[in-house]
Structure 1
Amino acid sequence: EPCHNPNPPRPAPPHAAAALPWDITQAQAQSPATTLRVGMTAAAVPLSNGVPDQGAEGHRFMGITLYDPLARWDLTKFDTPVDIRPGLATAWRVDPNNDKRWIITIPQGVKFHDGKTLTAEDVVFSYDRALKNDAPHYDPRAAAQARIRMPTITGWSAEGPNTLIIETRIDATFEPAAQTRLLGQLHSKVVDDALFLFVAHDLNPRAMSRRVQGFVQAQSWFQDLNPIRLQ
């Protein structure tokens, strides 16, 4: 159905069945100032298993907004570094005897839409569905979305209804200085001492091995490839 704009910025083409404002400020003016409506195709429909489709965009716009994670980014501030705040999990800590073992607290009283109480076993079910290939409920579609976001997780289990155990293959931390140190180690391993090299030739900045010599940043999408050499 046409959107009626009393002051359209330009005439609609004769074949158009509907004329939408080209300026987002005009689109917003037709609704309360506190409401922003975004139309897009990324959705979990027609899938019935709760896995957002459409790749990263489906994850960002549907998965993060519609489903509750164990922890979430604190986006209530814009002038400080983003921190982690509780989601379904109310607390998490590293096992004092094992730096690669996390103990996560699942709160009591959280309900599913059908009234069932959430437990740590339910979280294990979700991890099995995405990461355990021989699980009866393993879902390749879920795996395609989850594996790339949890590459360091090696194990998960429940210790009672309110304690979830996550094991990782590397030391994991939320401490900024430790994160910087770990990222430096990762960069050294996968970039500086990589077994192979892939150089994307486009207009965006990138992390690049110091062994690469002669690379010239592209100034145009139509610029041809430049030869490089490894030191």
Structure 2
Amino acid sequence: MTRPSALPAALALALAAAPASAESVLRIGMTAADTPTTTGMPNNGFEGMRFLGYPIFEGLVLWDLTRTDRLATVKPGLAERWEQAADDKNTWIFHLREGVSFHDGTPFDADAVIWNLDRYFKQDSPQYELPAAGITRARAPLVAGYRKVDARTVAITTSAPASYFPYMAVYILFTSPASFEKAGRDWAKVGTLPAAGTGPFRITRVSPREAVDLARNDGYWDKARMAKVDRVRLMPIPEANARIAALRAGQVDWIEAPAPDGIPSLKQAGFVITTGSYPHVWPWFYNIGAAGSPLKDVRVRQALNYCVDREGLITFLNGTAEPSVGWLKASDPNFGAPQNRYRLDPARGKALLAEAGYGPRKPLALKVMVSTSGSGQMQPLPMNEFLQENLKQTCDVDITFNVVEWQVLLNAGRAAPDAPTLQGANALNVSSPSSDVAVMARYFSSANISPKGFNFEQWKDDVFDASLRTLAEATDPETIATATRAAHERLVDDPPWLYIVHDLNPRAMSPKVKGFVSPQSWFVDMTLVSVP
């Protein structure tokens, strides 16, 4: 896969424009094909949140990304504490932090919270932003209402009890209302102002398809998390070999998802390769809801999970992944004890396909929508080509691809099953976090069928829904754990996805990058990083 690759003209221009001063500058090559949007709710999936979400725009709840020995948990952010209302499990009370200001100097208070919630959830509000609303509603689908209690307190009501709601609130980010007014109430202009958040970095320059520049926010409210670098430059470099070329040339300091067969030579040249097991899965989403879909039959969905050569794919990826046999890793205590333990077993896969009416005379044929690059997508084209050949050889399954840009694929994941935008796709290759029960609910609850939520598959399992309801209403940790295990067993035995691999989050860095922590999370804390 690795070969010399010329840098695109736009990238070369962005690199040439890098700050040339004594300031410390961290330059990062992202996998995105374009700069994520900069209004305060970035697109481009969780890579957008990683680099142009949390570092600039924060939520009432934040991730704790300082540890590597456990799954990342949530911690107080713009709210210093929260609790469920004593008389109503559907209502959460958030107590806002004192002394926080947006980058433009305006105060963060309850009015700013309500203004932003209206931006996402109130379609007739002047500040309603449709793209950002679509992203936020899908990640926090339980929000049913909200109100200002006083200047430092807000209440958010959910449509049903949800013990895990703070893990949804972590994805609701806040932008200064003054940014909207300064841009003439035009969100397209807000993105180039630049917009103001409350985070440890502030945006200083936006050049679409080239770069976004950040600077340390010297007025950040959390003095223990002041950024160690003066500036950060974020550049979209969607092609893996172009990212490696930029790193080797000293034009960037850090790249996401290096091409696996380039890793040994990068190590030999003195670059640092970081990997780590974390809650993230690289699957195919089955389109179960489409009219006439062969994936309506659970035997077909199970069969494909027995036909995949996960170990062969991991070898192909130079060990930068581990096998996925469920939404959670098999080592996770909440994996449970499902009846199916997926592995490469072509005989069983073929038998299940035969029961469903498929075989040599009528081979199963599927069209899969895949991306050229993107957030958490690893190496999507060569990996999917491997699977295409693998499934043909093991179980005589014919796979064709519709290759699209990453954001187009993300949009398809929120479409109805027979929407023209899907172009007849039977499955989507979209990577996903598997970090907590809130994500599980978003992706698999029958209440969150697309376009409301991320249940693209239109999957419904009564036992899963009942288990999810139990853990949502419970407060006892053991009851929650038991129900979580029962729910996950259904995700394995009645699979809405083809489980393929969990990636190991590889990135390559110059040895001058210091202090980086690879947490058990999709997100990272850039405030910890320093460069000379």
TM range (shorter): 0.5 to 0.7
Deviation at 1:35, TM superposition (A): 8.4
- Residue 89 of structure 1 deviates from its aligned partner by 0.6
* 3-state SS, counterpart of residue 99 of structure 2: coil
Q: 1:74-223, aligned counterparts within 5 Å?
A: 74-173=64-163, 199=301, 201=304, 204-206=324-326, 221=387, 222-223=390-391
Structure 2 gap segments, 5+ residues each = 9-23, 166-287, 290-295, 311-323, 328-336, 347-385, 398-493, 495-532
Shift of 1:69: 1.4
Distance 1:52 1:77 in 2: 25
Corresponding residue SS for 1:66 = coil
As a proportion of its length, which structure holds more strand? 2
* One-letter amino acid of the counterpart of residue 206, structure 1: G
Question: TM (normalized to structure 1)?
Answer: 0.62
Structure with greater contact order relative to length (CA < 8 Å, sep ≥ 6): 2
User: Following TM superposition, by how much is the alpha carbon of 1:81 offset from its aligned partner in structure 2, in angstroms?
Assistant: 4.0
Once residues 107 and 144 of structure 1 are traced to their aligned partners in structure 2, the CA distance between those partners, rounded to angstroms, is 27
Q: Which amino acid aligns with 2:113?
A: V
The answer for the alignment partner of 1:6 in structure 2 is none
**Structure 2 partner of 1:55:** 45
Q: 1:160 to 1:212 in 2, by over 3 A?
A: same
Of stretches 93-102 and 151-160 in structure 1, the one that deviates more from structure 2 is 151-160
**Greater alpha carbon shift after TM alignment, 217-226 vs 148-157:** 217-226
Question: Number of residue pairs matched?
Answer: 181
Gaps of 5+ in 1: 1-11, 19-33, 176-193
Q: Deviations over 1:22-46 (max 9, x none)?
A: xxxxxxxxxxxx986421245345x
Contact 1:216 1:226 in 2 (8 A): no
- One-letter amino acid matched to 2:325: P
Give how far 1:82 is off. Answer: 2.8
Q: Does 1:43 align with 2:35?
A: yes
Aligned to 1:70: 60
Query: How many Å apart are 1:61 and its aligned residue?
Result: 2.4
Task: With the length of structure 2 as denominator, give the TM-score of the two structures.
Answer: 0.29
Query: Retained in 2: the 8 A contact 1:121–1:157?
Result: no
Percent identity of paired positions between Structure 1 and Structure 2: 29
For residues 104 and 197 of structure 1, the distance between their equivalents in structure 2, rounded to whole angstroms, comes to 44
1:166 maps to a residue whose letter is I
Q: Compute the RMSD of aligned alpha carbons.
A: 4.1
State the one-letter code of the partner of 2:326.
R
State the distance in 2 between where 1:144 and 1:98 align: 28
